Amino acid sequence: MSETVVNAPDPVRALAPANDPTFDNVWDEIVWRGLVHVSTDQDALRALLAGEPITYYCGFDPTAPSLHLGNLVQLLTMRRLQLAGHRPLGLVGGSTGLIGDPRPTAERTLNTPETVAEWVGRLRTQVERFLGFEGDSAARIVNNLDWTAPLSAIDFLRDIGKHYRVGTMLKKDAVAARLNSDAGISYTEFSYQILQGMDYLELYRQYGCVLQTGGSDQWGNLTSGTDLIHRVEGVSVHAIGTPLITNSDGTKFGKSEGNAVWLDAEMCSPYRMYQFWLNTDDADVVDRLKVFTFLTRAEIEEYARLVADEPFRRAAQRRLALEVTTTVHGLAATQAVIAASEALFGRGDLATLDAATLRSALEELPNAAVAGGTPVAQALVDTGLCTSLSEARRAIAQGGVSLDGEKVADENALVTGGLPGGVSVLRRGKKTLAGLFVG
């Protein structure tokens, strides 16, 4: 299978994403890709998505300055539905972000309105990258603060709150978990499901929206909207809950030493994202190709065969890393990352690399900040490649150390920081690397 990607300037459109034409209905495709964990009536949904274009939405709360890989599941699901001719609404929660949906164990820390407003802008820009804004199925971005802010508390209680039953609200999984915890739950977070239900009602009234997508952990909030619309408008609308992505060993997907894999390049570099996907376990990679790429069923089945027959080639992981990093960060950034990865392991010229990409790559390695003119032996100790100066000198004498791709023959050699961006790369043996930030 080729790993060549067409050259184009836009992060998602560069890959010319398309649904698999071998499926008669986009519903069948998202089911095959494992994107439906729970939903309202499946037969009705299949018929709905096979018919005339509908309007659907997914919401993203600004509880952080960037979206992450869990949100990417929703963004790509939205794109698949849009490619089938349906009209997406990307909701950025300017009001719900001021509260935050209930976490399983403790209250959220409330951010200031100024912080939330700033994050709304950042998330809006990210959501816009994944949707198309032209043609009959053009996307629209909405902010729930627009209809929530003018609403008085009395109006909210009279017009919306009267349709909710406390007994039903208490049964929602997120609420029940908190009620049984030591932290309990505040009225603020308890009310979150009402706000999300009101969003769906508002979008139904304004745009005829009849489908909401979200993570399965949000199912209580999703059905809050379907129930409210049924009560108020007397019509049935739909919801799809995608599965929470976990690794085959049961660990939480998208977490690395406690750090989420963010979509913002400043919070998670393209190099780190590429390496994250490249390190996908064989047991997980086929499912990741289904969820996070637009490869066809036939292509994914071929990669499944390669995983089974030639796992040492890691062809599926390389294709996954290429596709997703390009989708998120664009082709140019991904090509720079691949060049850096190859050069670091001796298959390219370190001196020709982009300075920012090289620096971000070295930040993922053992590294140290050193002064120009520091002895290489000392730098080996500073980076942890050697435990002592005597060990470092022996490694140099045995010909097992290189600096910036050149073998170090003199135990008195000095660090120069001669690579782009004023950095250097230390290597001990064939595969043990460290970065030096020379100042």
Under 8 Å CB-to-CB from 120, ≥6 apart: which residues? 62, 92, 93, 94, 97, 143, 145
pLDDT at residue number 363: 93
d(CA 211, CA 233): 15
Strands (E), 184-237: 209-215
Q: Would you list the domain boundaries of the chain?
A: 34-244, 365-439
Output phi, psi for 367, to 5 deg. Answer: -155, 170
**What residue type is 245 in one-letter code?**
I
The CA-atom distances, in angstroms, between 388 and each of 127, 300, 366, 370, 395 are 50, 49, 16, 17, 11
The CA-atom distances, in angstroms, between 45 and each of 95, 137, 238, 266, 278 are 29, 18, 7, 39, 35
Cα–Cα nearest to 101, from 196, 176, 179: 196
CB 237 within 8 A of CB 225: yes
pTM of the model: 0.90
| Cβ neighbours around 132 below 10 Å, total | 16
d(CA 129, CA 228): 31
Helices (H), 84-112: none
d(CA 396, CA 399): 5
CA 434 to chain centroid, in Å, comes to: 28
Half-sphere exposure of 31 (CA within 13 A, CB side): 13
19-23, long-range: CB < 8 A, 24+ apart: 19/80, 19/83, 19/84, 19/294, 20/296, 20/297, 22/296, 22/297, 22/298, 23/297
The region that residue 218 occupies, defined by phi over 0 for left and psi between -120 and 50 for alpha, beta otherwise, is alpha
d(CA 52, CA 85): 8
CATH topology of domain 365-439: 3.10.290
Angle 282-292/315-329 helices, nearest 10 degrees? Answer: 40
d(CA 262, CA 242): 19
Average pLDDT along the chain, 439 residues, taken 10 residues at a time: 33 66 97 98 98 98 94 97 98 93 82 96 97 96 97 94 91 85 86 95 98 95 96 97 88 67 94 94 97 95 97 95 94 93 88 92 94 96 96 95 94 93 94 93
pLDDT at residue number 108: 84
Strands (E), 23-168: 38-39, 55-60, 87-92, 140-143
d(CA 49, CA 300): 24
- What is 34-244's CATH superfamily? HUPs (3.40.50.620)
